[in-house]
Amino acid sequence: MLSCIAIILAAVYVSLTNGTFDMSVAEVVKTLLRIEPDPDHDLVVFEFRLPRIVLGAAVGYALGIAGAVIQGVTRNGLADPGILGINAGAGTAVVLFMFLFQGSLHTTGWAAVMTMPMFGLAGGLAALAAIYRFARKDGRLDPQRFVLVGIAVTSGFGAVTLFVSLKMSPQDYESAAVWLAGSIYGADWKLVAATLPWMLVLPPVIWRSAKALDVFQLGEDSATGRGAQVEKEKKLLLLCSAGLVAASVAVSGSVAFVGLIAPHMARRLVGLSHRSIIPASGLIGIAMVVIGDWIGRTAFAPAQLAVGIVISIIGVPYFVYLLMRSRT
């Protein structure tokens, strides 16, 4: 945990001080502590870099925890919100929101910023309901069916998203395309405020049910025999995961592979207890998104690469590695 926190602090330091406009540590500290404030430094730190770092941290935290929960519920190390269709459902709902309110509701205004996560939640829950409906077998959630149905739901929602986005005006389509790639380029304090309620309420609920996730690994019959309310706990955990994914998708688009990679790293670092895996996955997710965003912002400057693309470049080979490892 301490190593993860140290890496996050190092990533925050690099992100605050490096970029098109470089700043020294002393200048950053003076700006944060309001010592000899400079308008240029205030603009760079408080308007551009700090909101982006905080939003990236919130997104990584949410996706890391959601990935740990979904892998625990399905008992499948290859499951994550992106593969199971929750990302796709939330993304479709947000694109539909952009399409319905284009020109009449600015997507950077308070009304839109606070409403978009609710649309995302509705889409994520719709995807989750469809998956849950078709993945049940003999009254129980079948983990293997859950993954296969999730892949099909992802394809279906992806098609709907493409259809809706093609109906947009060219300018709105360009914005939607950048957003769908997984970008926190337009981060501001309004978006941070929109995600905070979800990040403060849902992770503690998930952490309180961590023991249920441990019991699930024994199999449903064994879990039921040990007194666990399997279906009730699964619904609660999946609902909370959908809320976290919806909040992150609403402000950053679909950032893939964080929910897949972070839990694997967490299990290697802290063992198999979900009381440790859940917070560790959140911290690793923070580090992945903050570092990925810094690479995308600086590697091709003055052009910027979406954080979702940067993480996918790393995530695809890792996913192939996990597939080959699971086969052997």
**Which residue type is seen at 71?**
Q
Domain 58-327: what homologous superfamily? ABC transporter involved in vitamin B12 uptake, BtuC (1.10.3470.10)
Query: Which residues have CB under 8 Å from 192's CB, separation 6+?
Result: 51, 54, 55, 58
Residue 246 has pLDDT above 60, yes or no: yes
Tens-digit pLDDT profile for residues 260-310: 899 999 998 998 899 999 999 999 999 999 999 999 888 877 778 888 888
Buried b or exposed e, range 2-28, using 16+ CB within 10 angstroms = eebeebbeebbeebbbebeeebeeebb
Tens-digit pLDDT profile for residues 116-126: 778 888 888 88
Residue 223 has pLDDT above 60, yes or no: no
Which among 272, 261, 287 is positioned nearest to 72, based on CA atoms? 272
When computed from its CA atoms, the radius of gyration of the chain, rounded to whole angstroms, is: 20
Structure confidence at residue 220 (pLDDT): 64
The CA distance from 42 to 30, in Å, is 10
| 136 SS3 class | strand
Tens-digit pLDDT profile for residues 86-100: 888 888 988 888 888
Are the C-beta atoms of 306 and 183 separated by less than 8 Å?
yes
Structure confidence at residue 224 (pLDDT): 62
Alpha helices in 106-257 (DSSP H): 110-134, 143-166, 170-180, 189-208, 210-216, 220-225, 230-252
Q: What are the structural domain ranges in the chain?
A: 58-327
